[in-house]
Amino acid sequence: MVGSQLVLRRCPKRSLLVMLPLVAALLTGCGGGAKNDTFDLNTAVSADGPAARNRQILVPEPTALSALGSDQVMVRVSTSEIQYLSKAQWSDKLPRMVQAKLVEAFENTGKLGGVGKPGQGLAIDYQIVSDIRAFEINTAGRRASVEISVKILNDRNGTVIAQKIFSAASPVAGSAGNTAFIRALDTAFATVTAEIVDWTLRAI
């Protein structure tokens, strides 16, 4: 077949071939037994924010709509329609992945007294409360988009000391295969993560 293919999965409809701008989208049923490629996200993030070694933070699992709460890779076909990338999945449910990668990114800076998840018994100064608003491939724009809303909550009195929405987009480079789509999402997520970490260090 000439041209790139973006393979999508949507339940419960059977296979259907539709043409989309810049890509050919193949929709397949959910009953197939094809093995999925499993993808992770990168945490190689550097931060320029100041050190806060007398502060300990908690990173709860982000909230997200149910469409983003699974291990499937979201693809936005139009403003009102979403589907999922076929033969591809995240290594865990997306909110848990984002939580784990944020914890790693904060730890890797070496600028905090402690970073943890709920249940780890840390004496917490601040909670980093987040909501995943977008984490998707956009077929019309041939790009990956990530948007995460973040609040810094004073754990001692429940006061929100700062809040901000972070977003980034990255073009899908090269042939539009699954690896290219995930690489674009990874790039956008890395940008958002670096900004969240830097902003947090400056705010606390």
pLDDT tops 80 at residue 24: no
Name the pLDDT band for 99 (thresholds 50, 70, 90). very high
- The pLDDT mean for the chain works out to 85
Name the pLDDT band for 34 (thresholds 50, 70, 90). low
**Structure confidence at residue 105 (pLDDT):** 95
Residue partners of 200: CB distance under 8 A and separation at least 6: 49, 57, 106, 128, 150, 152
Say whether 114 sits in a helix, a strand or coil: strand
**Structure confidence at residue 132 (pLDDT):** 98
Range with the lowest mean pLDDT among 28-37, 47-56, 69-78, 187-196?
Answer: 28-37
Cα angle 167-107-183, degrees, rounded to a multiple of 5: 45
- Top mean pLDDT of 11-15, 29-33, 77-81, 183-187 is at 183-187
Range with the lowest mean pLDDT among 49-53, 107-111, 113-117, 161-165?
Answer: 49-53
What integer is the mean pLDDT of 172-198?
Answer: 92
Task: Please tell me the distance from the alpha carbon of residue 30 to that of residue 27, in angstroms, as a whole number.
Answer: 10
**Structure confidence at residue 8 (pLDDT):** 54
- Top mean pLDDT of 42-46, 96-100, 139-143 is at 96-100
With helix as H, strand as E and coil as C, how does 134-146 read? EEEEECCCCEEEE
Strand 82-85 vs strand 74-76: parallel, antiparallel, or unpaired?
antiparallel
Domains present along the chain, CATH in parentheses:
50-203 (3.40.50.10610)
Higher pLDDT, 184 or 46: 184
pLDDT tops 60 at residue 71: yes
What integer is the mean pLDDT of 164-180?
Answer: 91
**Structure confidence at residue 48 (pLDDT):** 81
Task: Please check whether residue 87 is in contact with residue 96, taking contact to mean a CB–CB distance below 8 angstroms.
Answer: no
- Residue 107: how many CB atoms within 10 A of its CB? 15
